[in-house]
Copies of this chain bind each other. A is one copy, B any other.
Amino acid sequence: MGAAGSRVERVLAGDVPALAQLMRDLDDGLPAGRDDLRTLYPHTGRAFVVGITGSPGVGKSTVVDGLITRYRAAGRRVGVVAIDPSSPFSGGAILGDRIRMQRHATDAGVFIRSLATRGQVGGLTRSTADLVAVLDAAGYAVILVETVGVGQAEIDVVTTTDAAVVITAPGLGDEVQALKAGILEIADVLVVNKADREGADRAMKDLSTMLDLRRQSALPSVPLLSVVATTGQGMDALRSAIDGVQARPAEARGARRRQQAEAQLLAVVTDITRAALQAGVAGDKAAATGKPGSVAALVDDIAARRTDPYTAARALLSAGMLR
């Protein structure tokens, strides 16, 4: 096929310029993007989506880089969505060692896309799901979603993948260790990177103890691996561990997909509601600020304590003003 036909047909044929253009349209919130995504949706669900998360400095990008190499060696096309924690206002992004991944940029079997976390909560889950769906429809067999596991929004993104790889490294502060305890519970595979550094044994031991505690509950067991991503040590084992998640029984995979669907549905509903609320405030202001019953008037009433957010929210939802 190649460059012929509609944009949807070209994306389905794996045409890179077409999918890059569609992603830009989705970023810009253009209706054409949304329409194409809807048409593509029945063709998704084939890719295996792997979330890669961990605190800043654990070496996530290097691990992602190593996984790309291994999937490519096996002939599989790889898509990457790299989420940059960035300013909610200006969108400045962390580059750091993400540059490393760019050496795959000349490989037609690899597509890398960064996503800034500017914008509101919930929006991140939706944007990520959109990019994953486009890559999935375009035939990328494996999609890696890299995110910094520091905020609830980033954790939510990882829970909407087929497999969550949580990375840690020795030598991070106590507080970071405690943060990590939170995302440990979403892990399908647990990795200690930089295993050649001082403190790696201690980290493995600590995590092992935590996993033992977890094992006492009914949760599935979680492989714990030590790797040195910069040298490749342990990286084949990591790939195998991820394959192990993919090989889980159909029932477990189905439950996970339904969980993803529910999260996506909520993200889209939240997005629509937020857009309606903001458009309401802006529109009312443009017309006549504070006319009774309008969204802007309700916001003014809350600010002045003439009403409370709960009563106002019920009023908006009952009047069908947020859809």
Closest residue of B by beta carbon distance from A178: B94
Q: Decide: A41 near B305, CB < 8 A? Known: A151-B154, A152-B151.
A: yes
Interface pairs (10), CB distance under 8 Å: A37-B308, A89-B186, A96-B174, A121-B121, A129-B309, A150-B151, A265-B277, A269-B316, A314-B323, A318-B323
A272 x B317 contact (CB < 8 A): yes
Residues of A within 8 A of B (CB): 34, 37-38, 41-45, 56-57, 85-90, 92, 94, 96, 117, 120-122, 124, 129, 150-156, 173-176, 178-179, 181-186, 254, 257-258, 260-262, 264-270, 272-274, 277-278, 281, 298-300, 302-314, 316-318, 320, 322-323
A258 x B300 contact (CB < 8 A): yes
Residues of B within 8 A of A96 (CB): 174-175, 178
The answer, among B117, B182, B257, B266, for a CB contact under 8 Å with A85, is B182
The answer, among B121, B268, B298, for a CB contact under 8 Å with A152, is B121
A302 x B264 contact (CB < 8 A): yes
Q: Decide: A269 near B313, CB < 8 A? Known: A85-B179, A261-B303.
A: yes
Bound Cα distance from A233 to B153, whole angstroms = 36
Question: Copy number of this protein in the oligomer?
Answer: 2
Residues of B within 8 A of A174 (CB): 96
Residues of B within 8 A of A303 (CB): 254, 257-258, 260-261
A299 x B175 contact (CB < 8 A): no
The answer, among B156, B272, B304, for a CB contact under 8 Å with A313, is B272
Residues of B within 8 A of A86 (CB): 182
Closest residue of B by beta carbon distance from A267: B309
Bound Cα distance from A154 to B305, whole angstroms = 25
Q: Report which residue of A176, A258, A303, A317 has the largest number of chain B beta carbons within 10 angstroms of its beta carbon.
A: A303
